[in-house]
Structure 1
Amino acid sequence: MGFIIRLLVNALALYLLTRVYVGVSFAPGADLVGILIAAFVMGIVNALVRPVLLLLSLPINLLTLGLFTLVVNGVVLYLVAAVTSLNVSGFGAAIIGALILTVISWVLDAIVGALGLDGTRD
């Protein structure tokens, strides 16, 4: 059940990102299935590719005091856009979109946690 809720939260966050920021959008005619596929691919890339990218960029990440993580998140969003119906205007738009997506996901996670839908018990 937690996987489905996490998938729906990611899909909602991606959808809200496309409504808030014009640099990231879905292809014309993209439906709910396209949004869910993009959220699923985002979860897979975050689980498999992002840790490798963070490990490889560890020296520069230490030099920039963690700010290079924003670039890694932009790369992840750009990769997801390359294989799904998500469109990103450019690499700068991917970095800004990843930053906004992080904030939106954080707020949605807080709401899901406050409602008790995250699967944790008191």
Structure 2
Amino acid sequence: MKVVRWLLGRLILVLNAVFSPKGLARDADKQTEVNNQVEKLKLYQFEACPFCVKVRRSAKRLNLPLETRDAKVSPWEQELIEQGGARKVPCLRIEKEDGDVTWMYESNDIIAYLEKRFA
């Protein structure tokens, strides 16, 4: 089963690379503002997870330089479990202006949030 999952994951990554979406065009000032806002967001993910790929594709379509953190790597995995509450990906860490942190799971919820905030 691990071999099948690994092969399917690689296939997803290849197809994602071949059919990569184009980013949203913004003027330089607006893009700089978006980049500054995106610095408060972190995406915990697995590279070949289809739901994580879906979120990354949406971020690319919106031209968001979203920092990704591999949830298989020890410090990020621990942070996700301890602060987010579960080792489940994708998970978007949202740091608000007042310093409060929200952890958002579910790819469709994350995409809806990104589209509402940055589209």
What is the TM-score of this pair, normalised by structure 2? 0.27
- Which has the larger helix fraction? 1
Q: Which has the higher contact order (CA 8 A, sep 6+)?
A: 1
- Which has the larger strand fraction? 2
